Structure 1
Amino acid sequence: MVLPCSLLAQAGAQRAVLRPLASPAKWAQLVQKPQAQRFQSTRSSTTANSYKLSHPQAGTVASPYRKKFAAPPPITAEEAVSNILYNTPTSKAPVESKHILDCLAQDEPGVLSRVTGIMAARGYNIDTLVASKTEVPGLSRMTIVLKGERMMMVQAKRQLEDLVPIWAVLDYTDTKLIQRELLLAKVSILGPEHAIPQVRAYRHSKEEMAHDPVYEETLASGGGAAEAADQHHHERYATTPSASESLLLSHRNLKALRELTSLFQGRIVDVSAESIAIELSAKSERVDAFLSLIRPFGILEAVRSGLMVMPRSQQLSMYEDDPASDDVVGQATVVDDTMLPPG
Structure 2
Amino acid sequence: MFGSVSNSGGLGPDYTTPTEWLRGQGRCSDVVMSSRVRLARNLAAHRFVPQADRTQRAQVLSLCRRAVERVGPLRWVDVHTAQEFERRLLVERQLMSRQHARGKLAGGIGGPDEPRGLAVSLPDERLSIMVNEEDHLRIQVMRSGLGLADALAAADAADDMLEEELEYAFSPRFGYLTACPTNVGTGARFSVMMHLPGLKLLGDIDKVRRAAEDMSLAVRGFFGEGSEAVGDLFQISNQTTLGKTEQVLLHEMEAEIIPRVIDYERHARRMLVEKRRMTTLDRVYRALGTLRHARLISTDEAMELLSLVRLGVLTQLIPAADIKPINALLLFVQQAHLQQIVGRELTQQERRSERARILRERLADVG
Which TM-score tier does this pair reach, normalised by the shorter chain? under 0.3
With the length of structure 1 as denominator, give the TM-score of the two structures: 0.23
Query: Which structure has the highest strand share of the two?
Result: 1
Query: Which structure has the highest helix share of the two?
Result: 2
Which protein shows a greater Rg? 1
